[in-house]
Amino acid sequence: MTTIRLIAIDLDGTLLDTRQNLSARNRQAVSRVLAMGVHVALATARDRASIRLKVPMAVPGLYYLASGGAIVFDTASGVILWEQILSPALTHDAVVFLCGYGHPVFLNRDCTYWVDREDQRVALIEERYNLSPQPVAEWPEVSVPVHRVSLAAPRTVLERAAREAAAAFGGRVNVSLASPDWLDILPSGAGKGPSLQWLQAHIGRSPEETMAIGDYDSDLPLFATANCRVAMANSVPRVKAEATHETAGNDEDGVALVLEALSVSGDGRAPGR
């Protein structure tokens, strides 16, 4: 059996329940594997501040793959270890492209956001993901480099936008359908997969030593670089099809069940199929 030394865990729909809360059991399970010397990477479209709010832990071995995988952050040192920035030209093109869908468009630099309107959907996003975006009348007002350009819209709109953006931009960007209400256009070298690969190289861990746990399309790049792939019971079919294991849903502490199995083994060995 494989010894697991790095675990990448999605947040919404995976580690967090449907109310976006971290259960005591899940928190204890994460703490236990960290104490065993297993590295944990929280991989999410949320920014660093939002992750810390939902998972209030800062210990050696705990990392964030934040802002859709544009940032790798070490919680113990408080240092951004790696980041990918969109070029000004690609930022402009992405903004123009996403504005064509008639729904809120966001720019994001680390924990700072800008948005092109104030409406009910923006209010829902603010509440769900703990954002406080700055409204802008004209995008040229935002002059700082950004990590991503995002669209908040109904799922059907996002799925169409994802297909059309992939065709329009090709390999110049990474298009990530992060959730049923959020789409990211990221630098081509960013994303959950590339950020996990960077972290593996940084801490000396291989895909054979890596477990990934997720529920949605944006978690498939994590699966691509982890030999042990765990789907939540509430996962979309594509994630279940790529998984080597399945656990209970996010309202039944499915992550804890997997991590507790590693803890019981005492040596970080992956559970049986």
Q: Give the number of other Cβ atoms within 10 Å of residue 177's Cβ.
A: 20
On the question of a common fold for 6-83+191-265 and 88-187, the answer reads no
79-83: strand order across its sheet = 79-83, 71-74, 62-66, 39-43, 6-10, 210-214, 228-231, 245-246
Kindly report the backbone phi and psi dihedral angles of residue 116, in degrees, each rounded to the nearest multiple of 5, phi listed first: -90, 5
Q: Which fold has domain 6-83+191-265?
A: Rossmann fold (3.40.50)
Give the start-to-end residue ranges of the domains of the chain.
6-83+191-265, 88-187
CATH class of 88-187: alpha beta
Instruction: State pLDDT tens for residues 120-166.
Output: 999 999 998 888 999 998 887 788 899 999 999 999 999 999 999 99
d(Cα 235, Cα 130) in Å, to the nearest integer? 23
Q: Give the number of other Cβ atoms within 10 Å of residue 81's Cβ.
A: 16
Instruction: State pLDDT tens for residues 205-234.
Output: 999 999 999 999 999 999 999 999 999 999
Entry pTM: 0.94
Cα 20 to chain center, whole Å?
A: 14
- pLDDT for the residue 272: 47
CA angle 222, 99, 216 (to 5 degrees): 20
